[in-house]
Amino acid sequence: MSLNGVTEWAIIELQGTLDSAGTLAGQRIGSLKWENKKALLHIGHHILEGKEVKLQNPLIVLARNTENQGTVQIAAMIRRKVQFRARPMPV
């Protein structure tokens, strides 16, 4: 939670594509862990190294208000992203 009570999310930015035989919706695609200030993302037989970057302009996630049609409410705020720019390393 942030100070104003809005949930805070982060973006994971990957270079390239994730290929899957089926849909990825609702599926766990990997595990993210931190070592010092370095992010490590383990997907299948690959590890990606990344870093946290503060967004220059924050983003908001909007959700439709089911009680009052035609209005939206702020669901989350995005102020940072975890950026993976290098090629994946095989495990």
3-state SS class at 21: coil
Give CA–CA dist 45/12, Å, rounded. Answer: 19
Provide the β-strand partners of residue 83.
13, 51
Query: Tens digit of pLDDT for each residue in 13-44?
Result: 998 888 888 888 888 999 999 999 999 999 98
Query: Tens digit of pLDDT for each residue in 47-89?
Result: 999 999 999 999 999 998 888 888 998 899 999 999 999 889 9
Domain ranges of the chain: 7-18+26-90
**Would you state the pLDDT for residue 14?**
93
Give CA–CA dist 62/19, Å, rounded. Answer: 28
| CATH number for region 7-18+26-90 | 2.60.40
Q: Is the pTM of this model over 0.75?
A: yes
